[in-house]
Chains A and B, each alone.
Chain A
């Protein structure tokens, strides 16, 4: 079980949850688990079958794109942060 942090901009798609437990050995598994339960999330983070360019995923503080992308392994207890671009400043 891994905790995935959901950014405020995507909580409408997760029923308001700020963090969700997800099952899986890789980032792809985790996100498949989440988007299976919250289908509206899918269009917000995927472009076809890859992560959308305006969404980053961090495992242990590292961008998965600098590792094995969606195939990056996730171990139990690691923190996964989902982070889309955010522009507000006012």
Chain B
């Protein structure tokens, strides 16, 4: 059998065992089709019904039992490998192993592992991904919870604030018992309780031109921007362009929110969208504005969705697209945003080459 597999007209070797069995050890070059999925997916796995098939399982029982099903589907030339992978291994033949996830992780992430776009490989990728959250408030709360639950291995939190009673209406990371606690520290406790696989790095400081290079240099692959003021957002934009780190941007006001992804030099940056912040006297005051409690839940979750897609390299991230959400009519709109060749930061002839500390007019606690 083994020699036969190296021939050009080799049969298609089909592993009919469960996901978990396959992860532990499988025969190189075989395809995976669990017993239960044979009827639904055989044609997808074996597009040519005339190609001979050899099924295998652990010891040869299940792989034999499935043969009538294959025949009924029109795959006449199908045989079962006697003895299965146990016999294969006993003969000293090579196997592959996909799993570096232990049983606890296989259970915790089972709903990810079932999605072909994530799977073991994707989950391992997430466990090795580092995502930095700017702000652990309304947007940062749901984003942090979902990223931690998803098994993002390293999550950074930049926030110098303390939990205030007025936060609890929407900042779902915190509980009443944590009033007065440091947000970064309290978030670390909650996230590590939720998922011990996550290493939470806290920065109990406000992002400034002084500390931003140090913080962004600590291995972060992606930033989720949940800041609450223009100076931080512009500072972060300029730094992320210079450091080449994509930013998942979200903002909220009353019933409305915006989400987009700024991927340096592949899509627009925040300054391509809005080259300069509004003058302080024209900027809406955040504290006065108010926000429906669930709105940051919607927008922050969308940010987590974008971050996970970018980390997994799947789907179509919101690069060059600004998604607008209005909670009152429940309406999503999308507008195009393009790279501006005259952008002062990521354009052809940048005019901004060092950090600007804009006057702080919105981050002051009410």
Contacts and interface: CB of A to CB of B under 8 A. Distances in A.
Contacts, number: 100
Interface string B221-245: 0000111111001000000000000
Interface stretch (A27-35, A52-60, A69-77): A52-60
B284 A86 contact: yes
A81 B167 CA distance: 31
A23 interface: no
A49 interface: no
B335 A8 contact: no
A62 B229 contact: no
Interface string B277-293: 11000111010010100
B252 interface: yes
B50 interface: no
Contacts of A9: 253, 284, 289
A87 B256 contact: no
B273 interface: yes
Contacts of B139: 89-90
B232 to A, nearest CB: 8
Most chain A C-beta atoms within 10 Å of own C-beta, residue among B227, B229, B278, B337: B278
Interface string A78-90: 0101011111111
Given A61-B334, A63-B337, A87 B275 contact: no
Contacts of A54: 274-278, 282
Size range of the interface on A? 20 to 34
Nearest to A8: B254
A87 B249 CA distance: 10
Given A54-B278, A56-B273, A90 B256 contact: no
B336 interface: yes
A9 B226 CA distance: 19
B275 A81 contact: no
Contact of B333 (A8, A53, A81): A81
B140 interface: yes
Contact of A81 (B137, B335, B337): B335
B344 to A, nearest CB: 10
Contacts of A43: 282
A52 B335 contact: no
Contacts of A88: 138, 228, 251-253, 284, 286, 289, 291, 362
Nearest to B299: A89
B266 to A, nearest CB: 18
Contacts of B167: 90
Interface of B: 135, 137-140, 167, 171, 225-230, 233, 250-256, 258, 273-278, 282-284, 286, 289, 291, 296, 324, 328, 333-338, 362
Given A87-B251, A89-B139, 15 more contacts: A43-B282, A44-B282, A53-B274, A58-B335, A61-B333, A62-B336, A66-B336, A79-B333, A83-B324, A85-B230, A87-B286, A88-B253, A89-B225, A89-B251, A90-B138
Interface of A: 7-9, 18, 43-44, 52-54, 56, 58, 61-63, 66, 79, 81, 83-90
Question: Nearest 6 pairs between A and B by C-beta?
Answer: A90-B137, A54-B278, A90-B228, A85-B274, A89-B226, A89-B228
